[in-house]
Amino acid sequence: MMVFKNVKISDYNLVLDEIFKKNKSHKLFLLNGEIGSGKTTLIKSFLKRLLVKRGVSSPTFNIINEYSNDNNELFFHFDLYRIKSKNELIEIGFDEYINSGNYCFIEWPEISKVFIDKKFVNITLSLRDHFTRDIKVTSH
């Protein structure tokens, strides 16, 4: 487990350095935290680091956003906040996405855990104040 205290958004790249260093083979990232804790902002930093150039936004209404980089690698960003049942995940082909071998970033992942039977990184963001977060990272 890694814990980062009093992290500013401008320090996210330092946190990502450590996450990538310790989890080189992981491509599934579950992000937890209250509304406004910085889940989408951290995912934006992940995707920028993975060379995604297109603007990244929260898929709250779409449920999933798909991105690619110049190497034609695909990245999937889920926001499961509005998902109420496992059947809804089945309908969108959730298991196909997470088993595609591409990077997947999942906000509000609780309902999806029954589908996850592979290695993943769990990231919990806790709001300290408007400018800083505590970030806890565990690998499974």
The matching CATH number, chosen from 3.40.50.2300, 3.40.50.300, 3.30.479.30, 3.40.50.10860, for 2-139 is: 3.40.50.300
> Which distant-in-sequence residues (6+ apart) come within 8 Å of 12 by Cβ?
41, 42, 45
What are the start-end ranges of the E strands in the chain? 2-8, 28-32, 64-68, 74-79, 103-107, 121-127, 132-139
Q: Is 57's pLDDT higher than 90? A: no
Distances in Å between the Cα of 140 and the Cα atoms of 23, 90, 113, 124, 134 are: 10, 23, 12, 14, 20
C-alpha to C-alpha distance for 99 and 116, rounded to whole angstroms: 9
Q: Where are the domains of the chain?
A: 2-139
Across 20-41, average pLDDT: 93
Q: pTM of the predicted model, to two decimals? A: 0.92
Q: Is 29's pLDDT higher than 90? A: yes
C-alpha to C-alpha distance for 106 and 80, rounded to whole angstroms: 7
